[in-house]
Amino acid sequence: MRRGNGYQLTAEEARKPYVEVSGRKGFGVKADDLLDKLEAATLAEVQERHAEMKAEEQELTGQAIAVGRCGFFC
């Protein structure tokens, strides 16, 4: 199974909710790609939980959460 930019996942890895990365082995994640995915996920969550917010405020909140989560992962 291939995800993203072509790393071949084993069947065991495909069943996991995450994939371990290793710079030494050449398996990594681009920070831009990670941040894009985090922003999309957090925006969707903010929109669901806070529909009363203006769209601009939802986007800013989603971005702030995504940056914080990225700091956790990086």
User: Can you list the alpha helix ranges (DSSP code H) found in 18-54?
Assistant: 31-49
Residue among 31, 28, 32 at smallest CA distance from 7: 28
Task: For residues 31-54, give the mean pLDDT.
Answer: 91
Residue 71 DSSP SS3: helix
Q: Which residues pair with 7 in a beta bridge?
A: 3
Go through 13-24 and write b for each residue having 16 or more CB atoms within 10 A of its CB, e for each that does not: eeeeeeeeeeee
Percent of the chain with pLDDT over 70: 78
Q: How far apart are CA 47 and CA 41, in angstroms?
A: 10
For residue range 11-35, what is the model confidence (pLDDT) as tens digits?
887 788 777 777 677 667 677 888 8
Predicted TM-score of the model (pTM)? 0.61
Residue 74 has pLDDT above 70, yes or no: no
Q: With bands split at pLDDT 50, 70 and 90, how would you rate the model's confidence at 62?
A: very high
